[in-house]
Amino acid sequence: MKKLLLLNANQNLEHSRTYYLTKKVIEKYELDKKYDIKEINLYDLNLNYLDEEKIIERNELVFQRKFDDKMFDLAKEVKDADFIIVSAPMFDMSYPAVLKVFIENVSVSNLLFTYDGKEIKGLCKAEKLLYVTTRGWGIKNRDDYGYKNIVQVANMWGINNTKLIGVSKTDLAKRPFRDIDDFVSKLGSLDEE
Ligand SMILES: Cc1cc2nc3c(=O)[nH]c(=O)nc-3n(C[C@H](O)[C@H](O)[C@H](O)COP(=O)(O)O)c2cc1C
């Protein structure tokens, strides 16, 4: 069965509207029937941002092509997934720091992408990356710079088919979960723009 990697950048999952939306989207498109889903809770990983020491250590391993080091295990999960869902609320006009730290840790050159001085070539096999988000205020999809960044990251990894599913005004809604249900019931095909 094909592999779906769910990158969960949500906290307080029982009350998270982003996580709820993500689960509803998975249900609507029957992704759980089409894919073997592996969920990674990014907050549980307790990853650190890359400091100088870590960068030197990683560069050395990359130079020696020692990709069997456990430092690269998460990157390999990303590389081998057939479908990736990134589930993250809007934080400070972007996404939570935990997601940025994850990206830093997995975006390993010669594993997820190569750069020959002219062009970047992605090495990931995923056919699609879906970004699922909620935002407290009335920010529109077209102004979601968190998603715009993720599109660039996905392109770097070699994934050119990306899609955004976003719900705004969650902090203004009286019944945000019911609004999400209504929103999901009106969603079209996963392949349409
Ligand atoms: C630290 C923090 C920063 C936030 N920044 C924004 C923001 O820049 N724009 C916005 O529309 N909402 C912002 N919000 C509101 C959240 O995006 C909104 O409540 C979202 O639905 C939370 O999702 P959740 O219920 O899954 O946690 C912020 C919330 C927090 C906690």
Whether 158 is in the pocket of ligand 1, judged by its Cβ within 6 Å, is no
Give the rounded percent of residues in the chain with a pLDDT score beyond 90: 98
DSSP lists the bridge partners of residue 164 as 131
Residue with tokens 């529109």: 140
Distance 36 CA to ligand 1 centre (A): 30
Q: Is 23 in the pocket of ligand 1 (CB under 6 A)?
A: no
Task: Give the whole-angstrom CA distance, residue 68 versus residue 24.
Answer: 36
Q: How far is the CA of 145 from the centre of ligand 1 (A)?
A: 14
Q: Where are the alpha helices (DSSP H) in the chain?
A: 17-28, 31-34, 42-45, 52-63, 73-80, 97-106, 145-157, 176-185
Q: What are 3's two structure tokens?
A: 């592999």
CATH says 2-185 is which class? alpha beta
Identify the pLDDT of residue 192: 78
> Would the pLDDT of 23 be above 80?
yes
How many other CB atoms sit within 10 Å of the CB of residue 65?
Answer: 9
pLDDT digits (tens, 9 = 90+) for 34-54: 999 999 999 999 999 999 999
Categorize the per-residue pLDDT at 170 as very low, low, confident or very high, splitting at 50, 70 and 90: very high
pLDDT tens readout for residues 77-129: 999 999 999 999 999 999 999 999 999 999 999 999 999 999 999 999 999 99
Q: Which of 45, 50, 35, 61 lies closest to 8 in space, CA to CA?
A: 45
- Global pTM? 0.98
- Alpha carbon nearest to ligand 1 atom 2, residue: 91
In this predicted structure, the answer to whether residue 193 has a pLDDT above a threshold of 90 is no
d(CA 132, CA 25): 9
Per domain, the residue ranges of the chain are 2-185
Fill in the DSSP letter of residue 142.
G
DSSP 12: S
Average pLDDT for residues 140-144, to the nearest whole number? 98
Closest atom of ligand 1 to CA, residue 12: 27
Which of 145, 171, 177, 180 maximizes ligand 1 atoms within 8 Å of its Cβ, making it the mutation to test the pocket? 171
